[in-house]
Every structure is written in structure tokens, then in C-alpha cells.
């Protein structure tokens, strides 16, 4: 069984969080949304999100992928959480998938996971990290690292994650059901 962690920080971008969770679940992938604390998450546009669990409780589970929604101050809140940075490094060392969208690729960069890698992000989010080969594509895959640009690319990002975890046939099946 494939299991994906989606950490939800206060101020995350709701389109990115919900799209990823929804599309992965449509593909039959188990998704655990985890708040950084036990409170509901107020997303960047004021939408209240209720995570499945807390990050502390989720850390007892083994995950195949972690997906970081972007948005602000959500991405900054992820950067400030040592548990997230440690988990990203551990998952990368185990060759597990690590994914981030919008401003959240900067969290991967802070953890040292994007050095020498190709990546994309919300314009300007990676400018402070010169060792990254910035790309302008909607979704960029470099080994076990997947990055995407922002809310407008969330569906392409989520479908790419489905393809990586469950194959192209499952991606086509999920995409057909979305009537894109």
C-alpha cells in the first residue's frame, strides 16, 4: 500500500493542498494530512482545513512520499519546523519521493535537497539558492524530487505524482474522470 504525507502548515495554499490530497485519493493512494500542531489549519485565503492527524502522530508511520503545499506564510512555517526538515532529509536519503509546489520548493532547498538539481517554483522562491538549476516548466522531476510552480499547476503536479506512484494507466484513468 502506497502512503503519502501532506503536512499542512498555517497559511498553506489551499488549492495546492486540497488538489494533491483529492487527486491522490482518487487514484486509491492513502494520503495522511498532518497539521504541524493539533489545531485546524487556516489556509492562505482563509479556508479552514482539518488535518487527519498531527505531524507528531504521523511520524510513527512510514511514507512513500511527502508533498509540501506552498503558499505564505505556510512555506515559511514549514521551513521553521525542524521535524519537517529532518523528515525531508531522511526520506531523500532513503530514495523516497519528496515533492513541493509553489514557494515550498524553498523548504527542500533549505534542507539541502535541491543542490545541483533541476527544480521549479513560484517565481522568485528559489532565487536565494544559486546552486539549483531553475526551470520554468509546470512540473519538474529530477530523480526522487518533484517540484511545481503554483496554484495553477496543482492539477498537473498531482497527476504527475499519481503517475510516479501508480503508473501511467492510473494517471490516465484519474485524469479521464476529471473531464480535463
Q: Provide the pLDDT for residue 50.
A: 98
Chain segment 162-173, per-residue pLDDT in tens: 999 999 999 999
Q: Provide the pLDDT for residue 101.
A: 98
Q: What average pLDDT does the chain have?
A: 98
C-alpha distances out from residue 168 to 50, 102, 139, 147, Å: 31, 24, 16, 19
Give SS3 for 138.
coil
C-alpha distances out from residue 51 to 7, 21, 40, 116, 164, Å: 8, 11, 7, 34, 24
Q: Provide the pLDDT for residue 144.
A: 98
Q: Provide the pLDDT for residue 149.
A: 98
**For residue 73, which phi and psi values (nearest 5 degrees)?**
-90, 15
The stretch 104-118 carries a mean pLDDT of: 98
Give the helix, strand, coil percentages of the chain, each rounded to 5: 35, 20, 40
Closest to 44 (Cα-Cα) out of 82, 21, 78: 78
Q: Provide the pLDDT for residue 39.
A: 97
DSSP string, 71-96: -TTHHHHHHT-HHHHHHHHHHHHTT-
> Which of 102, 104, 126, 162 does the annotation list as catalytic?
102
Q: Provide the pLDDT for residue 174.
A: 98
Q: Provide the pLDDT for residue 2.
A: 97
Whether 12 is catalytic = no
Chain segment 65-101, per-residue pLDDT in tens: 999 999 999 999 999 999 999 999 999 999 999 999 9
The stretch 138-161 carries a mean pLDDT of: 98
CATH topology of domain 3-177: Rossmann fold (3.40.50)
Q: Provide the pLDDT for residue 29.
A: 98
Q: Provide the pLDDT for residue 74.
A: 98
Chain segment 11-58, per-residue pLDDT in tens: 999 999 999 999 999 999 999 999 999 999 999 999 999 999 999 999
Alpha carbons 87 and 91: distance in angstroms, whole number:
6
Q: Provide the pLDDT for residue 114.
A: 98
**For residue 24, which phi and psi values (nearest 5 degrees)?**
-65, -40
**For residue 103, which phi and psi values (nearest 5 degrees)?**
-85, -15
> CA 112, 163, 14, 90: dihedral to nearest 10 degrees?
-30
Burial string for 103-140 (b: 16+ CB within 10 Å, else e) reads bbbbbbbbbebbeebbbbbbeebbeebeebebbeebbb
Question: On the CB side of 5, how many CA atoms lie within 13 Å of its CA?
Answer: 26
Amino acid at each position: 500500500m502506497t502512503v503519502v504525507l501532506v503536512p499542512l502548515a498555517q497559511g498553506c495554499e489551499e488549492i495546492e493542498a486540497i488538489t494533491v490530497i483529492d487527486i491522490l485519493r482518487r487514484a486509491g493512494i492513502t494520503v495522511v494530512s498532518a497539521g504541524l500542531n493539533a489545531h485546524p489549519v487556516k489556509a492562505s485565503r482563509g479556508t479552514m482545513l482539518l488535518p487527519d492527524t498531527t505531524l507528531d502522530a504521523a511520524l510513527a508511520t512510514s511514507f512513500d512520499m511527502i508533498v509540501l503545499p506552498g503558499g505564505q506564510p505556510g512555506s515559511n512555517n514549514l521551513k521553521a519546523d525542524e521535524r519537517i526538515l529532518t523528515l525531508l532529509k531522511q526520506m531523500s536519503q532513503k530514495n523516497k519521493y519528496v515533492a513541493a509546489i509553489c514557494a515550498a520548493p524553498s523548504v527542500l532547498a533549505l534542507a539541502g535537497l535541491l543542490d545541483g538539481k533541476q527544480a521549479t517554483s513560484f517565481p522568485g522562491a528559489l532565487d536565494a539558492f544559486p546552486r539549483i538549476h531553475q526551470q520554468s516548466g509546470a512540473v519538474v522531476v529530477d530523480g526522487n524530487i518533484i517540484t511545481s510552480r503554483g496554484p495553477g499547476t496543482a492539477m498537473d503536479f498531482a497527476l504527475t505524482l499519481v503517475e510516479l506512484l501508480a503508473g501511467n494507466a492510473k494517471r490516465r484513468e484519474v485524469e479521464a474522470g476529471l473531464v480535463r
